[in-house]
Amino acid sequence: MARICQITGKSAMVGNNVSHSKKRTKRRFEVNLFDKRYFLPEEKRWITLRVSASGIRIINKKGLKAALEEAQSKGFITSY
């Protein structure tokens, strides 16, 4: 499974490590991802999502069903 948030679509970024001598080497900024289980009361079942920390906050703010529908309309997940 790719390291991409299923709610926000966040993925890793590429940047530079900059040393004291200003020598630059490539590095990756990884996403803060968690595998979380959520209960869908409408369908009476559990689903497992790979979400970032900001994705968890969005689910808490909007609700699980609304966040899933928005992620599906943006193409981050195909089905849940």
Q: Which residue has the higher pLDDT, 2 or 51?
A: 51
pTM of the predicted structure, to 2 decimals: 0.85
Fold designation for 1-7+32-80:
Ribosomal Protein L24e; Chain: T; (2.30.170)
pLDDT digits (tens, 9 = 90+) for 27-49: 999 999 999 999 999 999 999 99
What is the pLDDT, as a whole number, of residue 47?
97
Compute the distance between CA of residue 32 and CA of residue 10 in angstroms, rounded to an integer: 9
Q: Place 2 in a pLDDT band, splitting at 50, 70 and 90.
A: confident
User: pLDDT, tens digit, for every residue of 44-78?
Assistant: 999 999 999 999 999 999 999 999 999 999 999 99
Q: What stretch of H or E contains 27?
A: strand 24-29
Encode 37-74: b = buried (16+ Cβ within 10 Å), e = exposed: ebeeeeeeeeeebbbbeebbebbeeeebeebbeebeee
Q: Domain ranges in the chain?
A: 1-7+32-80
